[in-house]
Structure 1
Amino acid sequence: MEQDVPARVYGLGTVEARIMSRIGFEVGAALASLSVDSGEAVTEGQVLASLHSAEQEARVARAEAVVAAAVATLGRTRANVVRAEAVLAQSEAANARRQALALRSAISDQSAEESQRDVEVARADLAVAETEISVAQAQLADAEAALRYEAALLEHHVLRAPYDAVVVDRHVEAGTVVRAGDPVFSLMDPGTVWTLAYVDEARAGSIALGQLAEVRLRSLPQEVFPGTVVRIGIESDRVNEERRIWIACDRCPAQIYLGEQAEAWITVSTLSQAVLVPEIAVRGFDGHRGRVWVVMEGQLTEVAVVFGHRTEDARLEIVDGLPEGAEVVSTPVNGLSEGRRVRAIAEDAP
């Protein structure tokens, strides 16, 4: 019986980043400048690159001129309204005098009718002028929207960092004509670095979220980086029969190299007390059951037992089927047979 035995599962994988982006421009043009290179840290909103934008700048200037013209048109229509209001007021005053004179027969009925007609015409002119204000306001709104659109397209000629990141790769150089959507940089968020480990399906069943793990990198084999299981893939590799496990590092290395090979040991349990037998000493092991030789009262006998966890040094935990007082033969030798008398010697005996 052994005490406090850690049961760990081994996985081999690579260093990855959960947030990694291949970014580019939303429009196409020739690259005018590139401000950063591979390995550099960038902050959110920082300018990374820019495109030649002379044509788009001209479109923006044209849109600004259209807005200025729309503003002038709106001012003119408002002035026309003021003029129409003044004409209407003058017509109404003149009409009032003529209608009073017509009542005293001082002027002809025809003159009175013409005066009333002038009022109606002036009122119609005012309505037209007021309508032209609405038309001018709509034209101004349309011109301003067109200006915002052209300004947005001009802004698309500048590539900015979407978040605090590290430049993984620069895919093009200045002068290259890029199309919309072509990747210019690959970025990663250094705060989302984790290890993607591939674990044999036969051993992955006891892995759960939150379990502690240890990671060793190929470039730093002398260091151990603690981590935690944060994601378990719900789809296994159908060819290699492996499950994908993601481990977030509690303490990450100072320099990250994506794709670097990493070894992971995940602690799935700690056995407070356990009888362990090397897998090589088990016959007919199917992943759960098998047969082992035991010594009882000085004689050999083979018994069927049930196994639990498997340690990283290829030993199996016996959880059921072991007779009381029996000693397991941990080192297989030739000539073992049922009922043969033997003498048990501890592995650490001289």
Structure 2
Amino acid sequence: MTARNLSWMLLSAIVICGCSGKNEATIEAKTKSLETLDADVLGIELSSWPTTVRSQGSLYADEQSIVGAKVAGRVAEVHGDVGDVLKLGDPLVTLDQEDFLLQVQQAEAQLLQARSSVGLLEGDPVAKLDPANAPPVRQERALWEETQSSLERIASLRSQNAMSQGEYDVAAAAERVAEARYASAVNGVREKIALIQVRQVELAVARERLKDAIIRAPMDGFVLNRQVAPGTFVSVGQPVATIVRTNPLRFRGKIPERYSQSIAVGQSLRLKIESVTEPREAKITRVSPALDQQSRALTFEALIENENQTLRAGLFAEAEVVTDPDALAIVVPDSAISEFAGATKAWKVVDGVTQEQEVRIGERRGASLQVVQGLAAGDLILLDAEQGRVGKVNAEKVPQAGVHAAAPIAAK
């Protein structure tokens, strides 16, 4: 290296050192000229911020039953009207029972007739009856035994040539006829026993129809509406009223396809119900196995306790489903963020001097905001953005290294 080059290098170093010192002096002078802000400073830390998915839906009754008539008839009395509370088995509508009572009496008479034909007394079970002991069978059996004895006598006389072959043949034929009549009598008694069983079933059906003339509530619940009035003729299956059970209620909501894989039975959700001040906590109880092909959304359900009947079916509700309860995020109080002319900013403290920092806000929960861009853990910001301006922060307000003011707790 020549002496000339060495001289140029020394000269350059002197110039650079002079400029650097001048810049540092200028910055230090500017810093000293800034006003000192007596503002609180917040140390940014990762806070618990469970990941949630929002869904809108409505409350539905746990069960809704359209009660119909099992028999046709004319309405005699309506026991339940809109809003009435019913218990399982309470009468809802009563049909005119006169025709059903006559049918029961007719079936009872026919059964009594069938029992009497085989000699069954009132109260005697059919199983007790032996066809061989029935009066018609005993009569035919006696006649058969008589012809058997007569045939034996004629056969004895025939062996002694005291009777002709023709007389023997007549007696033998009479014996066979008596045997056939006996067998027919046994079959007749068995047929009458079967007829008794038919009459018993007919009587049971008639009594069931009489019972069905009183239409009863199929479950505990409320009368949602009624479709008949006294004097209305109803046919079989015609609806007479609608019963709903509203404890519990079912919240039915839908979520977009992109969140469908994050929903599962047992996940917690927070329900904000229209016209109800306090939100309700619940868990997902059912998830549809398929997405709706038109809306591309997944349907799910959650049961909401409604023992005091403070909620009504049909209310609009909004759910926040917790899909990741352990998620963390940068969370700041809303006081630390300012919005002006479409820009969202925070006042960041760098080397004890405040400066504007543009940020992007995610979700708001109560008085807390999620910051998704612009801030990181370990940054310092002013707690109150309204006090924000360029200046020095009071050293006493700045947290020491490793010590940060607690970040705000995420709203539940």
Using the size of structure 2 for normalisation, the TM-score is 0.62
Distance 1:81 1:344 in 2: 124
Q: What letter corresponds to residue 192 of structure 2 in structure 1?
A: A
Partner of 1:45: 89
Q: Matches of 2:228 and 2:195 in 1, distance apart? A: 42
Displacement of 1:118:
2.2
- Structure 2: distance between partners of 1:58 and 1:260: 49
Residue identity (%): 22
Distance (whole Å) between structure 2 residues aligned to residue 201 and residue 296 of structure 1: 42
- Name the aligned partner's letter for residue 142 of structure 1: V
Amino acid at match of 1:51: L
The answer as to 2:93 corresponding to 1:93 is: no
**Larger radius of gyration, structure 1 or 2?**
2
| Number of equivalenced pairs | 321
Does 1 or 2 have the higher relative contact order (CA < 8 Å, sep 6+)? 2
Offset at residue 226 of structure 1 (A):
1.9
User: Do structure 1's residue 125 and structure 2's residue 181 form an aligned pair?
Assistant: yes
Q: Which stretches in structure 2 are left out of the alignment for 5+ residues?
A: 1-44, 121-130, 339-344, 382-389, 398-412
Which of 284, 302, 307 aligns to 1:229? It is 284
Cα distance in 2 for residues equivalent to 1:311 and 1:206: 21
Q: 1:150 aligns with which of 185, 206, 210?
A: 206
Q: Deviations over 1:280-331 (max 9, x none)?
A: 99xxxxxxxxxx999999999999x9x9x95657966759x99998899xxx
* Structure 2 CA distance for aligned equivalents of residues 343 and 245 of structure 1: 53
Residue of 131, 136, 159 corresponding to 1:80: 136
- Cα–Cα, structure 1 residues 54 and 169, in superposed 2: closer, same or farther, change >3 Å? same
Residue in 1 that maps onto 2:70: 26
Higher helix share: 2
- Quickly say closer, same or farther: Cα 1:202–1:100, change in 2 above 3 A: closer
Amino acid at match of 1:273: L
How far, CA to CA, are the matches of 2:108 and 2:262 in structure 1?
A: 66
The answer to whether the aligner puts 1:65 opposite 2:109 as a matched pair is: yes
The 1:211–1:131 alpha-carbon spacing in structure 2 relative to 1, beyond 3 Å, is same
**Residue of structure 2 equivalent to 1:267:** 322
Q: How many angstroms apart in 2 are the aligned matches of 1:138 and 1:226?
A: 63
Secondary structure of the corresponding residue to residue 36 of structure 1: coil
Question: Deviation of residue 83 (structure 1)?
Answer: 0.3
Q: Is the partner of 1:89 in helix, strand or coil?
A: helix
**4+ long deviations beyond 6 Å:** 292-303, 321-328, 342-345
Matched, 1:3 2:59: no
Contact 1:236 1:243 (8 Å CA) reproduced: yes
User: What is aligned with 1:289?
Assistant: none
2:75 touches 2:232 (CA, 8 Å); kept in 1?
yes
Seen in structure 2, the aligned counterparts of structure 1 residues 70 and 46 have a Cα distance that, compared at 3 Å, is same
Partner of 1:275, secondary structure, is strand
1:122-163 deviation per Cα after TM superposition (whole angstroms, max 9, x unaligned)? 112112212222332333333333333333333332212222
RMSD: 4.4
Q: Structure 1 unaligned runs (5+)?
A: 282-291, 329-341
The AA in structure 2 aligned to 1:26 is: K
Residue 15 of structure 1 contacts residue 258 of structure 1 at CA under 8 Å; is this kept in 2? yes
* Distance verdict in 2 for CA 1:132–1:253, change over 3 Å: closer
**For residues 8-60 of structure 1, what are the alpha-carbon distances to aligned partners after superposition, in whole Å with 9 as ceiling and x for unaligned?**
33333322123111112123322111223333333323322211132333333
Q: What are the Cα deviations for residues 71-105 of structure 1, in whole angstroms up to 9, with x where unaligned?
A: 33344993221101011112212222232233233
SS at match of 1:18: strand
Alignment partners' CA distance in 2, 1:97 and 1:344: 146
Residue number in structure 1 paired with 2:239:
183
Residue 186 of structure 1 and its aligned partner are, at CA, apart by 1.7
Give the Å deviation of 1:253: 4.5
